[in-house]
Amino acid sequence: MAKTFNLNPGSDATLVAAATRAAMANVPKDLSGTFESMAEEYGKTMREVGKSWAQVGKNLGTIGGQLAEHLPLLFFQQHYQSFLQQPSWFYHTQKP
């Protein structure tokens, strides 16, 4: 009687492990937790940046208010002194 050969000897554990590792090599790593953490930290950072810029705006508003309050007086004092020192502009604007 002729000897038969089994063409499907079954799976060897080494072959299965190698095939599994090869298949998993193409699977992307799950980074959802990493990106979620990055998004939360970015949100916290932007809130703090917003708070700091709000403080900058508040300070600039205060400075601008004080400047608007005192600038006319400073401008007047500077030009009034100039006017008193050189009143010749009056004579040049008069019609003969």
In a domain, 14, yes or no: no
Express as a percent the part of the chain with pLDDT over 90: 33
The domain in which residue 68 lies consists of 47-85
In a domain, 53, yes or no: yes
pLDDT of 89 reads 56
CA 71 to chain centre: 35
Q: How many distinct structural domains can be found in the chain?
A: 1
In a domain, 57, yes or no: yes
pTM (whole model) above 0.75: no
In a domain, 77, yes or no: yes
Backbone phi, psi, residue 51, to 5°: -65, -40
* H-helix segments, the chain: 13-24, 32-85, 88-93
